[in-house]
Amino acid sequence: MGKVALEGIEFHAYHGVFSEENKLGNRFTVDIHVETDFKKAMLEDKLGDTVDYVGLYKIAQSHMQEPVKLLEHLAHLMIKDIISAFPSIKSVSITIKKHNPALGGVVNYSVVTVTYPADYE
């Protein structure tokens, strides 16, 4: 068993409950952590035997382009597609940070983390 991760993926996107967020957008950072068995990839040096970083990135990118209200829902959609694309995955954790959320004070990020399978049981 091993872990594959992409950390600090940055996007400008239009997620949020408030109309200003949907018009102006905001900066988001996404971290994806995947646990899988990549023993065969270690031994045979073939990309098809592990989780491809490009595939993970493209899934995150496609979902960041489709506005939703809640970051929890956004993470769930990403997890569904990651599990579908890479059926050998044992667990996935998605962390999404919204930079400088408009809360009336100084806040660096609002943060949501969703983990499969734990949050799905």
Active site residues: 98
Cβ distance 35 to 90 under 8 Å?
yes
Q: What is the dihedral of CA 56, 62, 68, 70, to 10 degrees?
A: 10
Tokens of residue 27, six digits: 């900066």
Which amino acid, residue 40? K
Tokens of residue 60, six digits: 């995150």
Cβ distance 3 to 91 under 8 Å?
no
